[in-house]
Structure 1
Amino acid sequence: MVKHTFANLLLWSLGHALYATGKMDDGAKEQSWRNQNLDSVPLDLDVGLRSLDLSNNFIRQLHKLDLPYLEQLDLSSNQLELISEGALGDLALLEKLNLSINALNNNLDRNSKGLQSIGGLKSLDISLNSLGDEAVKLYLQNKSSLEQLKMSGNSLTWLTHYLFKESEGLRSIIIDNNLISAIDRGTFEPLEKLEKLNLAKNNLAHICDFKLQRVKYLNLSRNSIEFFIAVEDNHMYSLEILDLSHNKLLYFPILPKFNQLKYLYLNHNLLGNLNSEASMVLEANSLYNDVVRQGDLIIGKNNLHSTWRLMPLSYIDLSYNHFTSFPLETLSLLSSLEGLDFGFNCVQNLTWNVRHDSASEYYRQLYFPSLKYLNMQSNGLVSVSPLFFQALTQVEKINLQDNSVQPCAPVGQVHSSSSPQQLNLNSSCVAFGKLRTLKHLSLEDNNIRILHANAFQKSALVSLNLARNSHMVMQAGALEDIKETLQSLTISELNMTNSELFLPCMPMLMHLNISNNNLNVLPNSLSCSPLREFNIRNNAFVSLNYTLILAISAHLHVMHIHGNYFTCCDSQWLSTLNNSRIKMPDITHTECFIGDSSIPINEYLKNSSLYCSLHIKGIHIGQIIIVVLFVTVLITVLTMVTRKMCCLKKSFIV
């Protein structure tokens, strides 16, 4: 019995030690020694291990490992500088090896021989090891089974055609954050299974003959690329995502004629510096002719537009460029385009600068037949051509934040029966009435002066943001046309008072933000709105209408109330919110007032009767004290007068 108990205690202590240090998972045969301050690999490891994590330690040398079933080994974030030649020889099943953040730039010959012994490796990470071109070449020898390779943060400068010669099965290559300025032709082309290639954060200046047919994801962001050209051929390219952001592009990329591109990132470039769209297209085509060695030969074909016309692109990011005009003709070629980010450019007037039809003096009407989301934030927009809005046949969401757009009055809207030549193409206001499909509109921070009655006539908006238009006058009936559809309304930071707020009954409204104004009374019209989230922060509310709060609390989930001047002892509304378990995320920072004293509202709620026990029917405690003092003084005076009268009476009798 004693022996049995002792054996159980011993097993328990050993198990506890493993949990505290090695963290052994018997089911999956995984063991972690992460962050254990180890300076060498632990002895007597379980030979049945399939996964071993030794990361974040101080291991400098790796010697023979006798782990025949090991499939994954993580030695990242150590000080590893030496791998013995036979260290990994018995790891016949090893598929995934992480050696990132070490010192593998030392002992190159011995280390490379140590790595050559694991020919079945599928995933290798040698990032952040200060490795140069020759070092990487050595480490990639005998890696015919390799499928995933990561070499981020090293010192590679030139990729040659023999670098991946022994690893032609690669599917994913990540070589970001190096010093690569040149790539030999034939470096990636033989890799027929390559689908993901990341060359971000290098020193590449141009891509002049893209031929990677199998690649689906290509990241070339944060280089110094001035142009991207693929010579036209009849091959189908698998490219779906292309990231060319944070470069020095002057032209739109000329992509493979047949591709499957869905997402194109061109943000943070120099696009638009050539002033006009026509100049940019002309220069791009001229450059294409030079690249394909056709010199000064005049070719009538527009290579840029011919390839863009066939692209199945669904999203393009053109934000943070230098456009002063909107490239209407080029972008209208993208018939599948659903999302366009054109924020942070310099388009003040979105004019209809489209070439005339050859046989007509009238403007051609182009269309964006699939566009649903358009971001024009921070362009300095003042006017938008009605023809542009007419081209947005399916648009659902427009962001015009941080511009100078003035919504037109209803009489200023253009009737649909007007012909193109009759349209006022230089209107100083923007009419939203023609956007019948529009559901979400942001006009935040546009310095809007007046929001006219029926400003959204014939619209069916679901959400509207009018925040930070601090001088805006809202006319009665401004929201009348969207009262039946509006679900979210933001009218914060308008310096608005009660007399300036006109909210109709909105039976669909679920989110309302009226924060940062000068309001002290809630509109009774809110009683018919099924509000779920309500923000009244930073106003001048002393109390809230109890009947109204009771009505909206049936649907309310969240309410923000901080930054008002609530009276503690007039807080029946607060008890209603509290008892309904409605979330008030800022309640710990909210105070209420009793006289000149403030109390945290959450403290007040714990014992409201104590704080307000001296309040009788709304009379302030100071008022009670004054009344008591007055009565006391009055009684004292009367007593003294009575005594004096008594004394006089006695004196008279005598």
Structure 2
Amino acid sequence: MPDQGLIPVLFCLLAMWRILTPVSSHPQYSPCKLVQKAALCNNGNLSSVPERLPGNLEELQLNYNQIKTLHDVSFLRYPSLITITLACNGLEKVQSNVFRDSQLLENLNLANNNINIGFEETSLALRTLPSLRFLDLSENKLTDEMASTLLQNVSSLEYLNLSGNLLQRLDETSFRDLHNLKDLDLQRNIMFEIDSAFGSNPKLQRLNLAFNYLPCLTDFHMTQLVVLNASYNFIEWFISRQDLNDTFQLETLDLSNNRLFFFPFLPTRSKLQNLYLSHNILRFYEHLADNRTLQNATTSVEFYNLKKHIKNVTAQLWGDDLHGDVSSLDTLDLRRNRVDYFPDGFIQKMPTLSRLWMATNCLETLNFSTEQFSSNLYELDISNNKLSQVSANDGSLSMLGNLTYVNLSRNNLKELPFGLFSSLPRIHSVDLSYNNIGICLTDERKINTRSITECLQWNNIDSLRQLHLRGCNLEAVPNSAFTGLSLTHLELSDNPRIDVQDSLQCLSRTLQHLGLGNTQTRDIDLSHFQSLKSLNLSRNSLYHLPKSLYQIDLKVLDVRDNRLSTIPFGEARTLASKLQTIFLSGNAFNCCQTEWFKIFESAKTINMVAVSDIECQDILQTTHRVQDSERFYCLEAGESILWYILLLLPICLFLTGISIVTFLTYKPKLLQTSIKKKYLKPTSY
């Protein structure tokens, strides 16, 4: 037995042993997840860099924490780090020696912090990173001066993100040390001037200037640039340097959502493939050059003081120099402008053009013969214009062997070249919605040999898969209208008097989507359409769903704005087992027959779109949202409303009697006066 005097000493030694025992010998909670040589410590509520992680880490993610300061010793234990991400921490201070042992660091993400508070000391820390290639300083409230200070002597950078800051004006000193910069993101600042800002960046290939306040881009001479995004600014002019003999490497130019009046003055030698000019006020003015009514009109415009030590620029507004080199153009996006014609030879200058998007302009005519479209043309969208005439001959149509998608919807077309689409061997999708082009009847097909026709025959076009004839005022559709087609998508909505029951049967094997919204369809047999996946029956005044719907494997059903009061229990269960998406708003459902809603709601595989807009009425004609079932006033099963009437009638009579007695009690003379006036009238004798 140990001496009683040693017991207190043993207790003291035990307590000291517990204190001195290394913490690592005890299991501790760590907010980090280790994946090979990466530590994922995001959303860990950390206030500092963890200290007890493996020393061979190459990636450390610390996003969405509360690290306000990076101390000099924060990364001392992790000399092998290549990537550090510290986004969304509220980081304010980065001490100057924090990266002195991180000589391998290549990627540093400091996005969405408060670097603006301690930017001077942070700049000293960045200078100690000789291998830094990717730096993200977005969303840090940085001004021009702060950004310039932070980027001094960081010459190894190849990718820099300064988006979402407070930059206003850039000059030749802004990025003068970034000689290896290849990708620069400056979007979502408040820049209105970028005077000679990129002269020290000969390797810059991608430049994003979107969502700023730039009024123009003139004297563009960055021959090495491959991608330029200047969308969502206030640019009225884009003028490239015309006196350069070098070939511009520019492949993608995005000037959409600006205020361009003229087609951009492109380089005379370029490799431009994608030109995005949508949402401007652009049009062509070549027709004004020979207009004798404008005696004092000028054909050129001069720009002064574009840059120091460079002569003034004179630009011809409707000469060949206007268009520049577009010989490599693959995609031209001119949507939502004011183009009312193509200048002579404009389309011909684009021998490789495959996509032409002209939706929402002012074109009145389209001549496939004179425009000489590229044989590579794959997609043509001239929807929502003012087209009243489309011309073509056999020779011009034979050149369009690659044309696959054609959209001529929302125009003023009443006639088209005979055999226009049957002459296109690869035509896949045609949209003629909201024109007055009909479907040829059998007799019209035999006698119609004119070059221009008011109706089209659609049968036997082998490649056609999608046909949109919405809102074309169609009525009579011959039974053989779609014979020989393998359509997967047929849109016939907004043709209120159309009858297609018999003409659709030949598509039962291939049809996957059918649009019959607003066609006054009451019932239709679709039981043979086993491939049908999507059906639009909206705005048809349906009182019940067609029985054939329960026999096919539908995935999407649109029955909005009908007159449905309920969906029977068994039919609802059948639909719930098949459907993935259903549109039901705009119907006057009966609140007391909403078992279908509970079935759909419990089926986790079906999505009721805009469920909060689905409404019903209870027996008091009060409108509720179907999902608010606790507010409904309904009778229990088996109850009759007659019992409620018999129950309420005596109560109403009793209350009426009480009211009369009370009234007469307080005003008895009123009754006497009334009786005298009615019965005690003076006689004539």
Could you say whether these structures have the same fold, taking a TM-score greater than 0.5 normalized by the shorter chain as the test? yes
Residue in 1 that maps onto 2:596: 600
Q: Paired residue for 1:346, among 350, 362, 366?
A: 362
Residues 135-188 of structure 1, C-alpha deviations (whole Å, 9 max, x = no match):
222111221211111111222233232333322111111111223333343x43
Shift of 1:372: 1.5
Residue in 2 that maps onto 1:213: 223
Residues 268-319 of structure 1, C-alpha deviations (whole Å, 9 max, x = no match):
1121174858699xx99835899895878999972234522xx311111111
For the 8 Å contact 1:120–1:144, the answer to whether it is kept is no
* Cα distance between partner residues in 2 of 1:121 and 1:58: 24
Residue in 1 that maps onto 2:487: 486
* Cα distance between partner residues in 2 of 1:385 and 1:105: 62
* Cα distance between partner residues in 2 of 1:264 and 1:601: 49
Count of residues in Structure 1 that have an aligned counterpart in Structure 2: 549
Residue in 2 that maps onto 1:322: 338
Moved more, 239-248 or 581-590: 581-590
* Cα distance between partner residues in 2 of 1:318 and 1:93: 47
Residues 545-598 of structure 1, C-alpha deviations (whole Å, 9 max, x = no match):
66x975xx4xx4535264675997897x888878xx64353299999999x956
* Cα distance between partner residues in 1 of 2:40 and 2:573: 54
Alignment of 1:24-63 (within 5 A): 24-25=33-34, 27-34=36-43, 36=45, 38-44=46-52, 46-63=54-71
* Cα distance between partner residues in 1 of 2:298 and 2:430: 35
Query: Is 1:382 matched with 2:388?
Result: yes
For the 8 Å contact 1:222–1:247, the answer to whether it is kept is yes
Query: Is 1:286 matched with 2:282?
Result: no
Residues 91-136 of structure 1, C-alpha deviations (whole Å, 9 max, x = no match):
2222111222222223443332232222321111112222222222
Change (3 A) 1:119 1:323: same
Query: Is 1:440 matched with 2:449?
Result: no
- Amino acid paired to 2:113: N
For the 8 Å contact 2:300–2:317, the answer to whether it is kept is no
- Amino acid paired to 2:378: K
For the 8 Å contact 2:285–2:318, the answer to whether it is kept is no
Alignment of 1:71-86 (within 5 A): 71-86=82-97
Q: Paired residue for 2:27, among 4, 11, 14?
A: 14
SS of the residue aligned with 1:512?
strand
Change (3 A) 1:479 1:385: farther
Q: Paired residue for 1:302, among 320, 325, 330?
A: 320
Residue in 2 that maps onto 1:517: 519
* Cα distance between partner residues in 2 of 1:43 and 1:403: 68
Change (3 A) 1:593 1:498: farther
- So what's the TM-score if we normalise by structure 1? 0.71
- Amino acid paired to 2:320: N
SS of the residue aligned with 1:269?
coil
- Amino acid paired to 1:492: S
Change (3 A) 1:104 1:157: same
Change (3 A) 1:42 1:483: same
SS of the residue aligned with 2:380?
strand
* Cα distance between partner residues in 1 of 2:280 and 2:324: 23
Residues 426-484 of structure 1, C-alpha deviations (whole Å, 9 max, x = no match):
xxxxx65655543211223x164854435333772321112345xx2332328626642
Shift of 1:401: 3.1
Residue in 1 that maps onto 2:209: 199
SS of the residue aligned with 2:175?
coil
Alignment of 1:233-632 (within 5 A): 233-272=244-283, 274=285, 276=287, 286-287=300-301, 302-305=320-323, 307-308=325-326, 311-327=327-343, 329-347=345-363, 349-350=364-365, 352=367, 364=370, 366-386=372-392, 390=397, 392=400, 394-407=402-415, 413-414=417-418, 435=424, 437-444=426-433, 446=434, 448=436, 450-453=438-441, 455-457=455-457, 460=461, 461-469=464-472, 472-477=473-478, 480=481, 483-496=484-497, 502-503=503-504, 505-506=506-507, 507-523=509-525, 527=528, 530-536=531-537, 539=540, 540=542, 542=544, 544=546, 553=552, 556=553, 558=555, 560=557, 562=559, 582-583=578-579, 585-586=581-582, 599-600=595-596, 603=599
For the 8 Å contact 1:29–1:48, the answer to whether it is kept is no
Q: Paired residue for 2:145, among 112, 134, 147?
A: 134
Residue in 1 that maps onto 2:179: 168
SS of the residue aligned with 2:490?
strand
SS of the residue aligned with 2:220?
coil
Change (3 A) 1:400 1:284: farther
Residue in 1 that maps onto 2:13: none
Shift of 1:365: 5.9
- Amino acid paired to 1:182: E
* Cα distance between partner residues in 2 of 1:39 and 1:160: 38
For the 8 Å contact 2:430–2:466, the answer to whether it is kept is yes
* Cα distance between partner residues in 1 of 2:521 and 2:316: 68
For the 8 Å contact 1:591–1:598, the answer to whether it is kept is no
* Cα distance between partner residues in 2 of 1:368 and 1:468: 31
Change (3 A) 1:575 1:127: closer
- Amino acid paired to 1:466: L
Residue in 1 that maps onto 2:681: none
* Cα distance between partner residues in 2 of 1:339 and 1:28: 46
Change (3 A) 1:217 1:383: same
Change (3 A) 1:26 1:509: closer
Residue in 1 that maps onto 2:238: 227
- Amino acid paired to 2:555: V
Shift of 1:266: 0.7
For the 8 Å contact 1:243–1:265, the answer to whether it is kept is yes
SS of the residue aligned with 1:209?
strand
- Amino acid paired to 2:582: D
SS of the residue aligned with 1:25?
strand
Q: In angstroms, what is the RMSD of aligned CA positions?
A: 4.4
- Identical columns (%): 26
Query: Is 1:188 matched with 2:177?
Result: no
* Cα distance between partner residues in 1 of 2:27 and 2:470: 63
* Cα distance between partner residues in 2 of 1:80 and 1:214: 36
Residue in 1 that maps onto 2:630: none
* Cα distance between partner residues in 2 of 1:603 and 1:592: 18
- Amino acid paired to 2:322: L
- Amino acid paired to 2:477: A
* Cα distance between partner residues in 1 of 2:351 and 2:479: 35
SS of the residue aligned with 1:303?
helix
For the 8 Å contact 2:482–2:506, the answer to whether it is kept is no
* Cα distance between partner residues in 1 of 2:337 and 2:220: 24
For the 8 Å contact 1:284–1:304, the answer to whether it is kept is no
* Cα distance between partner residues in 2 of 1:604 and 1:224: 49
Change (3 A) 1:14 1:142: farther
SS of the residue aligned with 1:134?
helix
Moved more, 257-266 or 52-61: 52-61
